[in-house]
Amino acid sequence: MAGGESAFEQTYSFSPLPAKSFSFQEDKNTLTLLMKWSMLGRLSAQTYSFDSNFHPYSCETFCFFKDPQVIASLRNMEAGLCMPLGMPVESVSTNLVPCTKISMELFDPVYSCGILRPSGHVVKCFHDVYPDYDELRQMLQEEDSEHYYVVGRMEREEFLFRLFKHLCLGGELCQYEDTIDPYISTTKKIYKDLISVQKNPETKKISVVSTVLKVCAYDESGQCFPGTREEEQTFAYLIVDPVKRNVTLLYHIYGVGKMTL
């Protein structure tokens, strides 16, 4: 489905599930890394139930940000305050994000292309703007990098890769890792928490059943969620489990994260 601003038709009702939590939100090692990457307190995951069948082609009428229960529960952390969205949401930009991966094999090429040393340490490199730069961030951000497509064009669109990229780039005061392992392990933990899979009883093949949507909401003044201005590290995804009729909102607002657990 092509991205675009979609008109609303209220066809779903949502209920927050405050008791639903994820292991990455409670794991001390993960929280310590998010604090180091300046994302602690700014990366949030909240789950809701909904009352109708969901299909990927119906995502434009999902109306998540129009639901009063959702509006009341959302927290705009950009100003460090817990407060619902101010004005009514008028439209939402929605993009279907590929989500098919059930292993970390997507990242195998990164280990053998020169981005990493045999020890797993990230190779440093010169940059005109950033004094402390490395080949991993260059591969993630700069299309003219010789390593940009070591992970293929289609694979870069996958939710798994997007999540990895978000964690690697971090928040405003991110302290970057010297090795790739913390990024890989944290990506795996969060991805496994958020994505639902099922096994085909005949073929025994495991596949992803979740649908992932990248979303951005607008009110009469412009962009209102997540954040009020465009920033690569300000993002929001809806991860829909059509079997359980649950949807998780994963969002991050770029800035300075909490410095204590």
Same domain, 186 and 231: no
Residue-by-residue pLDDT tens, the chain, 261 positions: 344 444 445 478 999 998 899 999 999 999 999 999 999 999 999 999 998 888 776 666 678 888 888 888 875 444 444 445 778 888 999 999 999 999 999 999 999 999 999 999 999 998 777 778 999 999 999 999 999 999 999 999 999 999 999 999 999 999 999 999 999 999 999 999 999 999 999 999 999 999 999 999 998 989 988 988 899 999 999 999 999 999 999 999 999 999 999
The DSSP secondary structure of 53-80, one letter per residue, reads ---GGGGGG--GGG-HHHHHH---TTTT
Domain membership flag for residue 10: no
Query: Can you give the pLDDT at residue 61?
Result: 63
- What is the pLDDT, as a whole number, of residue 53? 85
20 plus 146 within the same structural domain: no
Task: Give one DSSP letter per residue of 81-147, joined into a string.
Answer: -----SS---EEEEEEEP----SSGGGGGGGGSSSB-TTSBBPEE--SS-SSEEHHHHHHH-TTSTT
Residues 238 and 173 in one domain: no
For residues 112 and 94, membership in a common domain is answered with no
pLDDT of residue 43: 94
Residue 177 lies in domain: 105-194
- Residue 121 sits in the same domain as residue 185: yes
The partner residues of 15 in beta bridges, in order of sequence, read 49
Q: Tell me what pLDDT residue 78 has.
A: 44
Number of domains in the chain: 2
The DSSP code for 179 is B
Q: What integer pLDDT is reported at residue 228 of this predicted model? A: 87
| Measured CA angle at 140 (ends 137, 144), to 5 deg | 100
Statement to judge: residues 73 and 93 lie in one domain: yes
Q: Looking at the structure, tell me whether residues 134 and 183 fall in a common domain.
A: yes
109 with 94, same domain? no
Does any domain span residue 237? yes
In a domain, 119, yes or no: yes
Total-model pTM: 0.91
Q: Does any domain span residue 235?
A: yes
- 145, exposed or middle or buried, with CB in 10 Å at 0-12, 13-18, 19+? middle
What's the CA gap between 88 and 90, in Å, rounded? Answer: 6
Same domain, 93 and 214: yes
Residues 113 and 92 in one domain: no
